[in-house]
Amino acid sequence: MINKLLLLGLSLFFSFTGYTQLVSLEQPELMVLYRGYPNRVFVNISEDADVSVNDIEVQCANCAISKVNKPGGYIVKPGAGKIAYITLYQKEGESLTEIYKAEYRVSNLPDPILYWGGSKSGTKAAPSSRVLLAKYTPEIPLKANFIVTKWTMTANGESISGEGSSLAPAGTIISKAEPGSLVAITAIVVGPDGIARQVGGAWEL
């Protein structure tokens, strides 16, 4: 499902002075807010509307919300619960009128994919590279950085471990491996949410 993430536009219609205006709430992670991640939410208003983003107040339940420099832009960081709510209000003087409320599922970030150099797990290896990376594939529109803290490589019945993203300690095992053989790597990676994840990958030489 995570590979089907698309830009989501939730359109909200409400009436002012006898005609309909258009306000949209955009959030690119399919009604999911990720813990420990700066989820971006945007309030867009039609050019034909007689209100501006300054006339809309955004409130969040089970999450912290803050404005960003882009007009109508917000960063949302959910709490520990499983559900969060984002509510849009139209400001009319000192009063607020609720015009839309959306329910979001709260989740941890999905696990990243291991890359041996530029080669994703499950593809042909890049044996000349000595860099191990953990990141999302281009289909997942999440800008989350992961740090590789340690890893273990296994090839031809031999194993070696190292720390950080450098595979230099595995140079001997890599050079001894026959073409067509399988190389497996298990790594511990830490994302922006501070969670240490164990992820694995395999490549054919």
pLDDT digits (tens, 9 = 90+) for 91-107: 988 899 898 888 999 99
Residue % of the chain over a pLDDT of 70 = 85
Q: Which band of pLDDT confidence, cut at 50, 70 and 90, is reported for residue 71?
A: confident
Average the pLDDT over 72-91 and give the result. Answer: 92
What is the number of domains present in the chain? 2
Q: In this structure, what token pair is assigned to residue 50?
A: 């007689």
- Note if the pTM is more than 0.75: yes
Residue 26's pLDDT is: 61
77 and 168 together in one domain:
no
Q: What is the residue-averaged pLDDT of the chain?
A: 84
- Is pLDDT of 173 > 70? yes
119 and 134 together in one domain:
yes
Average the pLDDT over 83-95 and give the result. Answer: 90
Other CB atoms within 10 Å distance of the CB of residue 18: 5
- Is pLDDT of 1 > 70? no
**Per DSSP, what are the bridge partners of residue 67?**
74
Task: Give the domain-ending residue among 58, 84, 107.
Answer: 107
Are 202 and 184 contacting, i.e. CB atoms less than 8 angstroms apart? yes
pLDDT digits (tens, 9 = 90+) for 26-50: 654 568 999 999 998 888 777 777 7
Residue 19's pLDDT is: 23
Other CB atoms within 10 Å distance of the CB of residue 13: 11
Residue 202's pLDDT is: 98
Average the pLDDT over 72-96 and give the result. Answer: 91
- Unique residue bearing structure tokens 């450098």: 166
The boundaries of the domain holding residue 130 are: 113-204
Residue 11's pLDDT is: 32
Q: Which amino acid is at 170?
A: A
122 and 72 together in one domain:
no
- Unique residue bearing structure tokens 């709510």: 85
86 and 130 together in one domain:
no
Residue 9's pLDDT is: 31
Q: What value, to the nearest 5°, has the Cα angle with vertex 32 and ends 64 and 46?
A: 80
pLDDT digits (tens, 9 = 90+) for 129-164: 999 999 999 999 899 999 999 999 999 999 999 999
193 and 118 together in one domain:
yes
96 and 118 together in one domain:
no
Residue % of the chain over a pLDDT of 90 = 63
Pick the range with the lowest mean pLDDT from 67-71, 118-122, 136-140, 142-146. 67-71
Are 4 and 28 contacting, i.e. CB atoms less than 8 angstroms apart? no
Please give the sequence-ordered ranges of beta strands (E in DSSP) within the chain, or none if there are none: 9-16, 19-26, 32-34, 39-45, 56-61, 63-67, 73-78, 83-92, 95-107, 113-116, 119-120, 132-135, 147-155, 158-163, 182-190, 196-204
Task: Give the domain-ending residue among 81, 107, 133.
Answer: 107
Average the pLDDT over 74-92 and give the result. Answer: 92
Average the pLDDT over 60-70 and give the result. Answer: 92
117 and 98 together in one domain:
no
Measured distance CA(122)–CA(178) in Å, rounded: 17
Check which CATH number belongs to the domain holding 18 and give it.
Answer: 2.60.40.1080
